[in-house]
Structure 1
Amino acid sequence: MSETKSGKHPKGLFKLFFIEMWERLAFYTMLNVLLLYVTDFERGGLGLPSAEGNEIYGLYLAFVYFTPFPGGMIADRYLGYRKAVLIGGLIMSAGLFLMSQGETYFYYGLVGLVVGNGLFKPNISVMVGNLYEPNDPKRDAGFNIFYMGINIGAFVASFLSSAVRNKFNWEATFLVASIGLLVGICILMFSWKSLERADRQPEKSADDTGFGEVFLKILLPALVFGALGFWLSSTFMPDGPVRPAIVGFLAGMIPIVVFFVRLGVTAVEKERPGLLALLPIYVAGGTFFMVLHLNGSAMTQWANDTTARDIPAPSLFQQDGLPSYYGNANEDVPRPNLSSLVVVEEEKVARMYGQKRMDHETLAAVLAANPDLTLEEFDPLVEVTQLEPDKAAIWQFSTAIYPDGQLEVVEGTDAHGAPTVSVNVPEKLSADRRVALMRTGADGAYPTYVVSQATIVDLYDNYEERFGHPPEQLPPGEWVQVINPELFQSFNALFVVLFTPMVVGFFAWLVGRGSEVSTARKIFYGLCLTTASLLLMALGGMFSDGGHAKVSGLWLVGFYGIITIGELLLSPMGLSLVTKLAPKRLVGLAMGGWFLATAFGNNFSGFFGGIQSSMTPVNFFLVLAGITAVVAGFIYALLDRLDAAIKQSTQ
């Protein structure tokens, strides 16, 4: 008697559960800090402007959801599922390792993650389905268990990324994620034989949409349109409101949209209603994921800039609140002692220090202007893990020193006209010193932090103007302890785990009462909840005084609570409708359309994150709420047609 018929889930399910849990742990460990790392200018990040950092985030997430489309076809026709998952996992682990080597290999690492994810993500889900017979009633429960592994990994990732970067540095976070992925790959290798039933031999069918056909009709036109859009934007609108890379991606989506519209319009009469009904489902899915995946862009920026994070927490998940935290901090938050700061006139010098990339000439100028400073020297190759705790605490305030004339300093302005500085290290250039700038007080020596004169005005003069008295100052060398902004992302995964049985139970109760809610109507309700979550944030924006005051983290908790219920209504229902509305021979292609719609929305997550700072918080969230409300109204107007199409497709 097989396991599936004996009432037990297949043993392979729990092996795939742990493989996926480790992969998602690695994926979200990196993703949670991606935007923070590329825009950070205080803790050794890349220091890129917000718009550029959000562009990287949005394009990365867009391509992460684009590559499963060809990746699934490659597994079907050439590799099989186990090999695809194995190869994809190894490529992703290699990509994360490259990211851990610093900015020189950062972008190569992102490409590796995109390619590897395309092979891993779609095919491990297919393997779960293959463990069950087609009509096995335990299949849905099996996917629920598998989905739990995804969210356990995502939940733990926020705490892991926070702890690792607090204790070590940004690059260590990527290295730990790479190792986590290898753990999942080891589980796959040890389970290779037992997962054979979840695999299939690569095969081609006459009924399949050929890979060559997909390339010629979808991928090649998308590539041509994307390149053309990027060139036109770079040539004629290089400083336009939408960055060229985003324009290129959106242009590349045009032939894809045309393909799926024509697929429905030209279908035979029996298949046409279902295929046309998929189009508004794609719109709903793309809109929802545009908002949900703001969690790593706009919502993380909100957590970093506008959320009061000076709350009690285990020390592992706390970090020093560095100067940028205090500009809009509340009245009762003490400011750093002036002696903890080294004031320089040029913003460029302060940013070089914050990004941990200075040259000898700049260091000499700072020392000459501040003769009371002494240096704590470190071996430039030493790892913080090799240091005693007291030395490790000082090392966090140290900066690498490079030969003169070698660093590339890129200066610009952000949406508010404030200066931005990014310091790039040429490939193969190594630091020849690492130093911390020290002062000595009554209790001994302590590390200092370099800031510009404009920061001093923001922290002290503006405080007195705002509150009518000078700020309380911390003792020299001490900083307010704040929790990491990425920790708030864990609430989405936590609420998925907590709310799933409640939502499932609620709709089962409605069915028992004879008040079943249609799948299409659940999608409509999901969009309504998404709109409500954004309206809640707009209300929080009112209390932030246009971003000039920090507000409680409970606004973010409420946002994630509401949108998670929307996710449970919309995301699985969208996937379900794809399988119901598409003809069996086109289910794979239609599922690819769902992933592509998600990619489209993800790109807009980066775009809106990039323009967030140019709008007041209230206006920003109201614009997003307006977009989702319009799409919700669009779905509501089509409910009867969608229900009819579903009924016809399932007969």
Structure 2
Amino acid sequence: MSDKYNRQDIVNTVPQKGFFGHPKGLFTLFFTEFWERFSYYGMRAILVFYMYYELSDGGLGLDQTTALSIMSIYGSLVYMSGVIGGWLADRIFGTSKAVFYGGILIMFGHIALAIPGSLPLFFVSMVLIVLGTGLLKPNVSSVVGEIYAENDDRRDAGFSIFYMGINMGAFIAPLIVGTVGMNMSFHLGFSIAAVGMFLGLVVFMLTKKKNLGLAGTVVANPLTPSEKSRTIKVFSIGAIAIAAIVYLGLQTGFLTFDSFIASVGILGILLPTAYFVVMYRSKKTTEVERSRILAYIPLFIASVMFWAIQEQGSTILAAYADTRTDLEFAGITISPAWFQSLNPLFIIVLAPVFAWMWVKLGSRQPSIPQKFSLGLLFAGISFLVILLPAYFGGPDTLVNPLWLVLSYLIIVLGELALSPVGLSATTKLAPAAFSAQTMSLWFLSNAAAQAINAQLVKFYSAENEMMYFGIIGGASIVLSIILFLLAPTIQRYMRGVR
């Protein structure tokens, strides 16, 4: 944190009443993230279909397995780029500017998708959205942490409300963008996603000064003049090296989809490992903060396992909805994109219940590690549920859509026990000098999960789906039990954080 302001100084500039009993800044962040998630999940609801639908149907005509792997790698890179976004916010321009710059890049990424074109244009749009989300996503969550005092009992409930805003955008988007994209034109659907991001930028710029005070404006660990010079050199050399590697890889044939997917998978493991080491060994990290970093490691591993299951809702379960599900139900024809609205719909309904429950329980609520173990338990059960249709009816019969509905409902119970709590715990356990970067580390658990998924989806087929869902679901349940048993030890290392 800057020598000029401490955390409480920043909190004092934020109006503390004004949005459902929470700081007024929560309104700005709620609706900024609402529209950003509308744009992202609207795009994601139709992206995998856009990739593997035939050219005659308006798609890119890719092989379905390749499309699923690209979808996972894309999701991994989106969250992996948060490392860059967190570093830029912590060291150069602060979280508020990171949110604004990120929104601009995302909007242009959706505009690129909206232009009918070739596969290269598709990848250009992916790069823009990856970089933009890396700037916006971790930093808007960090600002939420900044508007509350360190020991404010409203913090967990505030993150749950913020999380509900995310999912309101995610719920509406597949119904609107998905319907337009699947029934009219993929590119028109992507245009609607671009408009959503524009509206998010408008909300942020018009309300941030009045509602957020100094939150998001203070650079936590600014670069010294010598560090700035060294950083420019490192970034320049890195950009040249990456360009050279890509060029040589393409020329020699070494750089292929498979090699790229494998490289991202390795990076997904190495990046968080490096982050933990750097933060733990930093001279700016206190003894108490080091203890909290050690407590964070098993939570991070649990998060990777959870997201490895949850994120397959937009890959394996999306293809499952398209090819294995009976889409004629109760006299209506269901769009496969609509299933992407189930997860956020259940969160909208249940998030207030969980927020009320944590406040009601107060000091009697489960500890953070125990909540994580519950999240893993429900994630595992959600995969065991979806293997039952194949057990009862075989791999060749179309599945009643209610099985998918039940699976999405169960994993939402796990998500509400783990995800908003994980966001809140990250802001509590983060070393002061690495506040935004630790939030980036939280999102790296999702990046690692999706990098792993890019390999896992290759093993899925209708014929072996029982084994696929059973092994992954069973592994999550086993890890849940181990984490529950370790919860008291982890809690001690948190040094007073609950």
TM-score (normalised: structure 2): 0.83
What residue identity is the alignment partner of 2:394?
A: D
Give the drift of 1:74.
1.4
Partner of 1:302: 320
Aligned CA distance change for structure 1 residues 64 and 137 (closer, same or farther; 3 Å): same
Give the drift of 1:622.
0.9
Higher deviation after alignment, 633-642 or 521-530: 633-642
CA distance, structure 1, for counterparts of residue 291 and residue 96 of structure 2 = 36
Aligned CA distance change for structure 1 residues 125 and 573 (closer, same or farther; 3 Å): closer
- Partner residue of 1:490 out of 334, 341, 347: 341
Q: What's the secondary structure of 2:62's corresponding residue?
A: coil
Aligned CA distance change for structure 1 residues 15 and 498 (closer, same or farther; 3 Å): same
Partner of 1:62: 76
Residue pairs, 1:330-479, within 5 angstroms: none
Aligned CA distance change for structure 1 residues 168 and 131 (closer, same or farther; 3 Å): same
Deviations 1:408-427 (A, max 9, x none): xxxxxxxxxxxxxxxxxxxx
CA distance, structure 1, for counterparts of residue 184 and residue 58 of structure 2 = 11
- Partner residue of 1:150 out of 143, 147, 166: 166
CA distance, structure 1, for counterparts of residue 287 and residue 89 of structure 2 = 32
Partner of 2:7: none
Deviations 1:185-240 (A, max 9, x none): 222333354256154445464799x79789989x97xx98xx79x969x97897xx
Partner of 1:291: 309
Q: Is the 8 A contact 1:18 1:149 kept in 2?
A: yes
Q: What's the secondary structure of 1:638's corresponding residue?
A: helix
Q: Is the 8 A contact 1:35 1:53 kept in 2?
A: yes
Q: Is the 8 A contact 1:98 1:109 kept in 2?
A: yes
Partner of 1:542: 391
Partner of 1:28: 41
CA distance, structure 2, for counterparts of residue 103 and residue 544 of structure 1 = 42
Aligned CA distance change for structure 1 residues 606 and 138 (closer, same or farther; 3 Å): same
Partner of 1:39: 52
Residue segments in structure 2 that go unaligned for 5+ positions in a row = 1-11
What residue identity is the alignment partner of 1:163?
A: T
Q: Is the 8 A contact 2:161 2:351 kept in 1?
A: no
Give the drift of 1:501.
2.9
Give the drift of 1:72.
2.4
What residue identity is the alignment partner of 1:17?
A: F
1:601 pairs with 2:466 = no
Q: Is the 8 A contact 1:294 1:606 kept in 2?
A: no
Bigger fraction of residues in helix: 2
CA distance, structure 2, for counterparts of residue 272 and residue 81 of structure 1 = 24
Percent identity, aligned pairs only? 30
Higher deviation after alignment, 50-59 or 71-80: 71-80
What residue identity is the alignment partner of 1:306?
A: R
Give the drift of 1:67.
1.4
Partner of 2:5: none
Aligned CA distance change for structure 1 residues 276 and 190 (closer, same or farther; 3 Å): closer
Q: Is the 8 A contact 2:383 2:470 kept in 1?
A: yes
- Partner residue of 1:112 out of 128, 153, 164: 128
1:629 pairs with 2:477 = yes
Give the drift of 1:583.
3.7
Q: What's the secondary structure of 2:328's corresponding residue?
A: coil
Give the drift of 1:511.
5.3
Give the drift of 1:5.
5.7
TM-score (normalised: structure 1): 0.65
Aligned CA distance change for structure 1 residues 614 and 139 (closer, same or farther; 3 Å): closer
Q: Is the 8 A contact 2:90 2:221 kept in 1?
A: no
What residue identity is the alignment partner of 1:492?
A: N
Give the drift of 1:102.
2.4
Q: What's the secondary structure of 2:387's corresponding residue?
A: helix
CA distance, structure 2, for counterparts of residue 9 and residue 272 of structure 1 = 31
CA distance, structure 2, for counterparts of residue 68 and residue 236 of structure 1 = 27
Deviations 1:405-448 (A, max 9, x none): xxxxxxxxxxxxxxxxxxxxxxxxxxxxxxxxxxxxxxxxxxxx
Give the drift of 1:506.
4.3
CA distance, structure 2, for counterparts of residue 231 and residue 649 of structure 1 = 50
CA distance, structure 2, for counterparts of residue 207 and residue 237 of structure 1 = 35
Aligned CA distance change for structure 1 residues 533 and 63 (closer, same or farther; 3 Å): same
Give the drift of 1:284.
0.6
Give the drift of 1:532.
0.8
CA distance, structure 1, for counterparts of residue 312 and residue 181 of structure 2 = 22
What residue identity is the alignment partner of 2:99?
A: V
CA distance, structure 2, for counterparts of residue 172 and residue 206 of structure 1 = 42
Higher deviation after alignment, 286-295 or 263-272: 263-272
Give the drift of 1:564.
0.4
Partner of 1:620: 468
CA distance, structure 2, for counterparts of residue 85 and residue 260 of structure 1 = 22
Partner of 1:13: 26
CA distance, structure 2, for counterparts of residue 312 and residue 27 of structure 1 = 30
CA distance, structure 2, for counterparts of residue 626 and residue 166 of structure 1 = 35
Runs of 4+ in 1 over 6 A off after TM superposition: 210-217, 234-238
What residue identity is the alignment partner of 1:94?
A: F
Q: Is the 8 A contact 2:159 2:424 kept in 1?
A: no
Give the drift of 1:551.
1.0
Residue pairs, 1:98-109, within 5 angstroms: 98-104=112-118, 105-109=121-125
Partner of 2:207: 191
Give the drift of 1:542.
1.5
Residue pairs, 1:201-280, within 5 angstroms: 201=217, 203=219, 205=221, 243-260=258-275, 262-263=277-278, 271-280=289-298
Give the drift of 1:307.
0.7
Aligned CA distance change for structure 1 residues 650 and 141 (closer, same or farther; 3 Å): closer
Partner of 1:532: 381
Q: What's the secondary structure of 2:398's corresponding residue?
A: coil
Q: Is the 8 A contact 1:277 1:645 kept in 2?
A: yes
Give the drift of 1:152.
0.7
Partner of 2:98: 84
Q: Is the 8 A contact 2:103 2:133 kept in 1?
A: yes
More contact order relative to length (CA 8 Å, sep ≥ 6): 2
Deviations 1:157-185 (A, max 9, x none): 11012321244211111111111211222
- Partner residue of 1:50 out of 57, 64, 68: 64
CA distance, structure 2, for counterparts of residue 629 and residue 612 of structure 1 = 20
Aligned CA distance change for structure 1 residues 4 and 283 (closer, same or farther; 3 Å): same
Task: Kindly report the root-mean-square deviation, in angstroms, between the aligned alpha carbons of the 2 structures.
Answer: 3.5
- Partner residue of 1:4 out of 3, 6, 16: 16
Q: Is the 8 A contact 1:264 1:276 kept in 2?
A: no
Partner of 2:109: 95
CA distance, structure 2, for counterparts of residue 109 and residue 237 of structure 1 = 20
Residue pairs, 1:495-644, within 5 angstroms: 495-507=346-358, 516-546=365-395, 548-613=396-461, 615-644=463-492
Q: What's the secondary structure of 1:191's corresponding residue?
A: helix
CA distance, structure 1, for counterparts of residue 124 and residue 381 of structure 2 = 39
Q: What's the secondary structure of 1:551's corresponding residue?
A: coil
Q: Is the 8 A contact 2:85 2:440 kept in 1?
A: no
CA distance, structure 2, for counterparts of residue 50 and residue 188 of structure 1 = 38
Give the drift of 1:16.
3.0
Give the drift of 1:263.
4.9
Bigger fraction of residues in strand: 1
CA distance, structure 1, for counterparts of residue 44 and residue 312 of structure 2 = 12
Aligned CA distance change for structure 1 residues 300 and 214 (closer, same or farther; 3 Å): farther
Q: Is the 8 A contact 2:164 2:351 kept in 1?
A: no
Higher deviation after alignment, 267-276 or 54-63: 267-276
What residue identity is the alignment partner of 2:264?
A: F
CA distance, structure 2, for counterparts of residue 8 and residue 506 of structure 1 = 17
Partner of 2:179: 163
Q: Is the 8 A contact 1:298 1:608 kept in 2?
A: no
Residue segments in structure 1 that go unaligned for 5+ positions in a row = 315-481
CA distance, structure 1, for counterparts of residue 50 and residue 269 of structure 2 = 32
